Amino acid sequence: EWPGLLDRTALVTGASSGLGRHFAQLLAGQGVVVTLAARRIDRIQSLCEDIRSEGGTAHALELDVSDPASIEAGLVGTAFDIVINNAGIAASATALDHDDETLDRIIDTNLKGPFRVARAAAKAMIDAGKGGVIVNVASILGVRVASHVSAYAASKSGLIQMTRAQALEWARHGIRVNALCPGYIETELNVDFFASEPGQKLIRRVPQRRLGQTRDLDGPLLLLVSDLGSFMTGSELVVDGGHL
Ligand code: NDP
């Protein structure tokens, strides 16, 4: 067990699949009371049931992070101890081909959404006078350059600077804010792509010559949210098999 997690409360956005689903299960396994948020309520309800059947405590929250009204209705006034700002979307196109609709959707979901979630969470933490921990799930693509992902990369690098600024302003309230920057992690959505030739080509560029698995993020995430990471704030933790 990692110190400082038992009976804490956590919000995980984008908990209906991939990394968020894994993070919710990981935290529940550490005795954290988890609130799972996403738009697909049926998926998070069924994951809540799985967590409960394993002895954990889990709640489902229907949330669209790209909609300010949804954040207002779902989050304002709730003081979680831990917030994992994980919900995010990606789109691949050249910078010339990125249309306005895609650009807006990516920035609304990956940057403005986490900003509003973190702001609501921090206000509630400050009002409750108890501090807390926020982890913004960015990406190595927020740090390094790649083609065909200009909007996504812009959203994730913005998220990293947002993290640093929030950490600076909220440290005096006992709130730590860090960014987790995964490299290529295999999930149900990208497994087919990474099996294809272009996907295999990308994997060959990773020094460890493999895709990350969600469990590769366990130690880094638990470090950021537990008391073992209590002197870490405003930093970005890169977990990418040496890709950077
Ligand atoms: P998935 O597509 O598997 O999961 C994305 C999650 O975000 C889903 O649960 C989805 O739920 C949720 N989501 C999307 N839009 C919204 C919205 N508007 N409001 C609320 N929830 C939303 O992707 P991953 O698990 O791979 O990605 C999770 C995070 O990790 C993202 O921020 C991504 O950028 C980042 N990341 C992923 C990497 C990877 O290789 N997999 C590498 C680096 C970073 P629903 O549709 O039900 O709302």
Ligand 1 atom closest to residue 90's alpha carbon, by position in its atom list: 34
pLDDT at 244 over 90: no
- DSSP per-residue codes, 65-116: TT-HHHHHHHHTT---SEEEE-------B-TTT--HHHHHHHHIIIIIHHHH
Mean pLDDT value across residues 123-152:
95
Residue pair 65/71 in contact by the 8 Å Cβ criterion: yes
Q: Label residue 85 by pLDDT band (50, 70, 90).
A: very high
Q: What is the DSSP code string of 35-57?
A: EEEES-HHHHHHHHHHHHHTT--
Structural domains in the chain?
Answer: 9-185+216-229 (3.40.50.720)
Q: What ipTM was predicted for this assembly?
A: 0.99
Which positions are catalytic? Answer: 139, 152, 156
**Burial zone of 5 (CB within 10 Å; 0-12 exposed, 13-18 middle, 19+ buried):** buried
Coil, helix or strand for 224? helix
Tell me, in angstroms, the distance from the centre of ligand 1 to residue 129's CA: 31
Q: Is 152 in the pocket of ligand 1 (CB under 6 A)?
A: no
Whether the CB of 115 sits within 6 Å of ligand 1: no
Q: What is the pLDDT of residues 167-194, one digit of tens each?
A: 999 999 999 999 999 999 999 889 999 9
Ligand 1 neighbourhood includes 28 CB (under 6 angstroms)? no
Ligand 1 centroid to residue 156 C-alpha, Å:
12
Query: Is the CB–ligand 1 distance for residue 39 below 6 Å?
Result: yes
Task: Please tell me the distance from the alpha carbon of residue 70 to that of residue 212, in angstroms, as a whole number.
Answer: 32
